[in-house]
Chain A
């Protein structure tokens, strides 16, 4: 029988140091401190905000060590995603519509398409979702088979997946492959898809990798330039290294800058609020003129952002010195106009101690000879995977 520690039975929050001390002591006697059953019992309902977990340190961000990051969000978002695929494969637009948040964004080729309502979806479905037999991607009589589902990101208010599928002609001939990335979020108690991007390729080109190398190289170049600009306080470079002309859309589920400031100010769960949240989608558009000649307001915002970055990015670990992409970075799939990337970054202090690790997935588009690959364009995330503040303070 599992016996929870007295602190847990009383529902009293305890800090991580004492938790681990108790855990170590308890493990010697074969008694677990925090039972999984009790942790589940403490799960919030779908429409309530996730509580601050025991063990979250002062100044620290919520990270993936806490079960509330995955124990409900992963099954719930998986349920939505399989429902979406089933509806798509049944050519059931109503069923598709039921699985989406409004507005949501879908990257159709290299352009983000924002759909504001279910009525708009039914009246004018994006190509990848057009099951009405009037679109270009779905041949009447064709059918789809799911390849699999990979979970890349998760936290209490969202989860990021990839789901490839194959489309067959009625006689069984393989026609197309689709690689999709999907961001599923909990807004005000309802789980739904808020971000997606699809890459379709002919069946005989499914394993080609022509564009993957140039994309991952571009991604790294932008990272390097941006990290260097941050270090030098070069506002121009910090801006231009991650901004590209055109429309872009991302869905923010906390993590990194979005959660660093609230965490340092004692509000670590603020980025993960659910109740009352209508949308997590951010859509913006920039022109080359705005990038080359920013307004005074834009420069003031950049200066404020840089100041906050210097103040907060070190967390409770130390002074931020540099950031590097996570070694797990890879191109999941790429075509000549768009790629799907899994990446993130680790922040370090000068002596090499890691501060934190954040992860995200993104749709990087290729426009006018440039890969628009950065941490703010076409992103679903971030997930704060590990905040070392929780270990060292």
Chain B
């Protein structure tokens, strides 16, 4: 008798549920974000996978440990389902078919149009007033020249867990005679909300054809901004400098993030699957019209317990450093798409955990905004050393 893929994985699965607290948190996030969210889901299509059940905890998560990417459930279904949505979205865009595009979207969703975060609350709003990057109607602001066509260049799946997957997708746009006129690089965050997979986070960078490949300056700028912001935020954490943490997190312009877990806190509390609820989840989007001073003054970012809870089951947090895989994926003068993350360490250099995310680094009035919170899709807890047992 042959063994099928995944056969042993769920044999001793156990369920850990705390839906009430998760939904409460999600609701709070929406309120704090300042947006009145009207929910709606991507449309079910004949081959769309429905899974309105919460993922079960796999065997192998240690006490105080969290779900990380060693467990096949983080990719076995989510990667394929999100790819289907991504392909359907792109096909609809290429066909200039707004209805079919809308079928692939969660509502609300956020799209970064150039440096501007745009919240689209409903299907009706999308169809009536589509953002420029998604406007296939030939009326209103659009990046689509009449008669043009698109060709998919490549995609990259970079972060994944049971409820969300972060992809990039690049396409080239050609005018009717076959000359390339634009290239578009996009980040696409696909999530499973209440059993339906759909796009909840988008960011696009369009480049004229004769500027493709001329990235030496913009890539460097985004790389430096990304590193500087990370360095200063970590330094403020290490020094317990709350005003500086606030300064590093603050973004006075409209911004949105889609959260798909990544925290080690629920794991420490014995609820490792709490961040991965699906059933009843209406939105994972946190959108703000811009952080006010009054709002920022109320935030404490768990400063008092940060070092303790960030140590998971390994030890006490002392330092974070970006992952060496950090890279700017694509860049323009005012925005970059990045793939980044961080390792957490104890003082003696023991690794605690590794986290990854995708995001848009945005330049407004000479200041680069973007770090692990405000403009991201993620985070994914890639590796939690608590599960390796040597420390727990």
Contact = CB atoms under 8 A, between A and B. Distances in A.
State yes or no: do A and B come from one complex.
yes
A95 B154 contact: no
Contacts of A98: 2, 4-5
B389 A171 contact: yes
A35 B7 contact: no
Interface residues of B, number: 63
Interface in B60-79: 68-70, 72, 75-76, 79
Contact of B96 (A23, A67, A95, A171): A23
B382 interface: yes
Contact of A24 (B87, B147, B151): B147
Contacts of A130: none
Given A98-B4, A145-B69, A149-B156, A64 B151 contact: yes
A2 B92 CA distance: 11
Contact of A154 (B92, B150, B152, B383): B152
A2 B98 CA distance: 8
Interface in A132-185: 143-152, 154, 168, 170-172
A67 B95 contact: yes
A32 B90 CA distance: 15
Given A64-B151, A90-B5, A150 B157 contact: yes
A1 B102 CA distance: 11
Most buried by A among B6, B84, B87, B156: B87
B386 to A, nearest CB: 9
A249 interface: no
B321 interface: no
Interface of A: 1-2, 20, 23-24, 27-28, 30, 32-37, 39-40, 63-65, 67, 69-71, 74-75, 78-79, 82-83, 85-87, 89-90, 92, 94-95, 97-99, 143-152, 154, 168, 170-172, 207, 327, 354, 385-386, 388, 390-392
B269 interface: no
Interface of B: 2-9, 68-70, 72, 75-76, 79-80, 83-84, 87-88, 90-92, 94-101, 136-139, 146-147, 149-152, 154-160, 174, 176-178, 213, 324-325, 351, 382-383, 385, 387-390
Contacts of B2: 94, 97-98
Given A30-B139, A78-B80, A149-B157, A95 B3 contact: yes
A36 B86 CA distance: 13
Contacts, number: 173
B70 to A, nearest CB: 5
Most buried by A among B4, B5, B155, B160: B5
Given A172-B388, A392-B178, A146 B96 contact: no
A149 B147 CA distance: 33
B87 A150 contact: no
A150 B95 contact: no
Contact of B91 (A2, A36, A150, A172): A36
B72 A94 contact: no
Contact of A94 (B4, B69, B97): B4
A118 to B, nearest CB: 9
A148 B69 CA distance: 11
B80 A82 contact: yes
B96 A391 contact: no
Given A20-B176, A92-B5, A391-B178, A32 B96 contact: yes
19 contacts: A34-B95, A36-B88, A37-B97, A40-B88, A67-B95, A71-B87, A74-B87, A75-B83, A78-B157, A85-B75, A90-B8, A145-B70, A145-B383, A151-B155, A154-B152, A172-B387, A327-B213, A386-B151, A386-B178
Nearest to B101: A36
B157 A86 contact: no
Contacts of B158: 148
Given A149-B157, A152-B154, A32 B136 contact: yes
A75 B87 contact: yes
Contacts of B213: 327
